[in-house]
Structure 1
Amino acid sequence: MKTRSARRRHPLAAVVVLLFALAVTGGLYAALSPAGPARADGSAQSLAVEEGRKLYAVGCASCHGTGAQGTSDGPSLVGVGAAAVDFQVATGRMPLQQQGAQAPRKKTVYTQAQVDQLAAYVASLGAGPAVPAKDQYSPEGSDVAKGGELFRLNCSQCHNFTGKGGALSNGKYAPGLHGIDPKHLYEAMQTGPQNMPSFPDTVLSQKNKKDIVAYLGTVNSSKSENPGGFGLGGFGPVGEGLFAWIFGLGALIAVAIWVAARTAKAKQS
């Protein structure tokens, strides 16, 4: 009995038990806790923000301010969100080449990875629309007819019926929408760039915006046809009616003059 009691009271026994318990606890924590991937994601996001801050300091701060608070040469970027940055920079509108009535689309300066870093930095300054996921602007499962109806109701006043674009006042214009990346079309509706109003989800739902993107992709595709004849720039019934009125009525007047001339000549003879 004395021998068994001495073994149970051996000083190393408690240490062994403690080490075993710690090993089991650590193994279970490592196996079941999601904190590791979360920290990894957080570190990657922090790195993207830091790289974006460096890019911003070189290419954007001169107009928008060192803290993106805005200056006389550029608006504040606090709260505009990642979607606005992705649209403006990935389409080449920013950095601005020169001050003017409107920033034109041009060749991009940054790679998409750098655009993502700039977007991450600006998004860290304040909440705003995020870059849409592919399923939000993909034409799969969309209603093209509904998209056409929504486009004619909300967008055709400036972009015309098929997105060919049009002039606005004071040197501004609504750009043509042919060949635009569907993601950028969606982002434009989200953020309202240039002179365009924004259409948040409370005004146009995600499904509505997806339908509009699908409609534009359909009418501007190479397979699109004009069953009535010439497309006439896609200006809609007003432009088509004016064309018919001018040329149709002109042709009728020319025929009437020809008939009258022939009749007068016949009477003289």
Structure 2
Amino acid sequence: MRSSRHLVLVALAAVALAVGVVQGTAGAGESGGAGDTTSGTSQADLVAAGEQLFLTSCISCHGVDGVGTPNGPPLTAAGEANADFMLRTGRMPMASSDVQPPDKPVAYTDTEIRQLVAYVGSLGDGPPIPQLDLDAADVTNGGQLFRANCAPCHNASGIGGALSYGRHAPSLQETGLEQVAEAMRVGPGQMPRFGPDVLTDQEVNDIVAYVDYLQNPDDPGGLNLGYTGPVAEGFVALVIGLGALMLVIRWITRERRAAGAREGAPDA
């Protein structure tokens, strides 16, 4: 009896083990197949959905297959970075081609932007979206590069500035860091294009890290005065210093008058 029970238990354990192995293998195969299908079609799905959005929202200006029209430039060499920058900063859709497109609220959801970006990227070669790694960035080098290449237009503190023909360099204080990197690669508007032959990926990373510092600076003095520079700081220091000096002079004068009055008063 014991031997029979022992054999039955061993047989059941073997069957259970075999079933588990088969199910595990099948599950792994299905999972692997599903993963491959998703990775293989996800980009295609994004492109297909982006094409439908393009046909309803963009074709009137940029033409069929993004070849361009008199109302809008071609997108066949725009690349994903250009499309992502324009859409995430609200510059597209553009209200008028006669004025510099301003930053405005984003018109599309994040999913729609990814779809449009994928479609524009499929139209031809163009700069991809830069990959940032701020942990590996050199902020000091980024500051030097920023002052040499960006500060003449965007100001040393990144608050923007006036350009010729009524245009302006926008402030970078609230611009997304990824969009800062994209702008360097695509050169929107009057901004020069800094390709890999001008700025390496590491240098772009360094500049973005410095812009991040400008957006979140240390204020050891407390009041930042809008980061407008030494002129404003000197003016405030002068006004406060002169005001304090006038109060001290007034106090000394009053004390001297009071002392003189006490000395000149007749004794009782």
The residue that corresponds to 2:165 in the other structure is 170
The residue that corresponds to 1:200 in the other structure is 195
The residue that corresponds to 1:108 in the other structure is 106
Letter in 2 for 1:46: A
- CA-based RMSD of the aligned residues comes to 2.9
Cα distance, 1:211–1:80 mapped onto 2, change above 3 Å: same
Cα distance, 1:153–1:48 mapped onto 2, change above 3 Å: same
Aligned-partner Cα distance in 2 for 1:154–1:199? 10
The residue that corresponds to 1:153 in the other structure is 148
Number of residues paired by the alignment?
210
Aligned-partner Cα distance in 2 for 1:37–1:94? 34
Q: Secondary structure at the match of 1:67?
A: helix
Unaligned runs of 5+ in 2: 1-24, 243-268
* 4+ residue segments displaced more than 6 Å: 226-229
Letter in 1 for 2:79: G
1:222 is displaced (CA, Å) by: 5.4
1:100 is displaced (CA, Å) by: 3.0
The residue that corresponds to 2:49 in the other structure is 51
Match of 2:83 among 68, 85, 97: 85
1:162 is displaced (CA, Å) by: 1.3
Deviation readout 1:55-90 (Å, 9 max, x if unpaired): 111111111112211111111100111111111001
The residue that corresponds to 1:14 in the other structure is none
Unaligned runs of 5+ in 1: 1-26, 252-269
2:134 and 2:205 in contact (8 A); partners too: yes
TM-score (norm 2): 0.70
1:35 is displaced (CA, Å) by: 8.2
1:106 is displaced (CA, Å) by: 0.4
Match of 2:126 among 125, 128, 134: 128
Percentage of identical aligned residues = 39
Tell me, yes or no, if structure 1 residue 233 matches structure 2 residue 231. Answer: no
Q: Secondary structure at the match of 2:136?
A: coil
1:198 is displaced (CA, Å) by: 1.2
1:196 is displaced (CA, Å) by: 0.8
Deviation readout 1:231-267 (Å, 9 max, x if unpaired): 6624xx7xx49x77xx89xx9xxxxxxxxxxxxxxxx
